[in-house]
Amino acid sequence: MKKITFVLAATVVASLAGITACKKKTVTETVYVDNTPPPGPPSLYTRLGGVSAITLVTDKFINNCATNSFIGPRFAATASDPNRLRVFRFNLIDQICAGSGGPCQYKGVTMLQAHQGMNITNAEFDTLVGQLVKAMTFYNVPASEQNELATILLPMRSDIVGH
């Protein structure tokens, strides 16, 4: 009898310990204590290679546009004024960086304001996007990332064309 009571008591203690252990497990949670981004797929910004890769692509893109026979004349005044070119370049880098989920902030004017009075056509817009694609291809940006960036820029068409 003494032995049975002991076994019973031992079983109760063991199962209580088990319950306590179970309870401890269920209160485990992830707490973010710094700016570590939550786990998930890397942003387009990261997949493009960050601001240094975006800068390389942007410089190639600007050069492609300025030397293109169809839209080049549009950029003649910008290309010949170092200060204007510097501001345009930084604004474009910030725009692509911010648009792809990077830590930059676009500080330029809206797309509607920037292209107001230029009467840009759809053909010119498509040619400019083509120059960006050419720049990304030159730096071996994969097709999926190229398409993602184009998808971010294409909705700007209505603010840029025909004003």
Whether 120 and 162 have beta carbons less than 8 Å apart is answered as yes
Nearer residue to ligand HEM within complex by CB, 54 or 71: 71
Shortest separation between residue 39's beta carbon and ligand HEM, angstroms: 31
Whether 91 and 106 have beta carbons less than 8 Å apart is answered as yes
Residues 92-113: b if buried by 16+ CB within 10 A, e if exposed: bbbbbbbbbebebebeeeebee
Shortest separation between residue 160's beta carbon and ligand HEM, angstroms: 5
The answer for residues whose C-beta is within 8 angstroms of residue 123's C-beta and 6 or more apart is 70
Q: Is residue 125 at the binding interface for ligand HEM, with CB under 6 A as the rule?
A: yes
Helix (H) or strand (E) holding 106: none
Q: Which residue from 7, 13, 109, 123 is in contact with ligand HEM, where contact means CB under 6 A? A: 109
Q: Which residue from 46, 55, 63, 78 is in contact with ligand HEM, where contact means CB under 6 A? A: 78
Q: Is residue 153 at the binding interface for ligand HEM, with CB under 6 A as the rule?
A: yes
The Cα diameter of the chain in Å comes to 103
Distances in Å between the Cα of 22 and the Cα atoms of 19, 70, 148 are: 5, 70, 45
Shortest separation between residue 158's beta carbon and ligand HEM, angstroms: 11
Nearest-CB residue to ligand HEM? 108
Q: Which residue from 49, 108, 137, 145 is in contact with ligand HEM, where contact means CB under 6 A? A: 108
Q: Is residue 156 at the binding interface for ligand HEM, with CB under 6 A as the rule?
A: yes
Q: Is residue 46 at the binding interface for ligand HEM, with CB under 6 A as the rule?
A: no
